[in-house]
Amino acid sequence: MIFMKYVKKPIIIEAVHFTKEGGFGDDIPIWLHEAMLEGVVREYRTIDGMDFDVRTLEGIMRSNGDSYIIKGAKGELYPCRGDIFEETYSAVDQKEDSKKHYEIPDNKLLKWMNNHNIQTSDSCNGEYCEF
């Protein structure tokens, strides 16, 4: 058997920083908000502060303090320890546009918003929604 070395492909992911003191904070992306409403991600208070867990195909994965929740290239969610995340990932430059664009797969978000009586604006076109 031949052993080789590999390097990760430069795939862009989305992530949210989580701290024991502040949890995910108030400004979370739509994909995380939706995952929390569906019970995929659960944020809760412990004696030591805030914590979260994520329901994955491998089972429930728990955070341990300073962590990130990652949305992978295929939409999968998983936690990552803060030190490993900072060693593995670096921030990507984003447009200086103040509007945020969120991809809406198969109009899932629009359907969810309609089911929860949330008004959409003309800027939602089935692919992107501007807030």
Nearest to 79 by CA among 71, 70, 88: 70
pLDDT tens for the chain, 131 residues: list them.
788 988 878 888 999 988 888 888 778 899 998 999 999 999 888 888 888 899 988 899 988 778 999 998 889 999 999 999 999 898 887 664 334 444 545 556 666 666 655 555 545 554 444 44
For residue 34, what is the enclosing H or E element? helix 30-37
Helix-strand-coil split of the chain, %, nearest 5 = 20, 30, 50
Q: For 45-48, which contacts have Cβ atoms below 8 Å and span 24 or more sequence positions?
A: 48/20
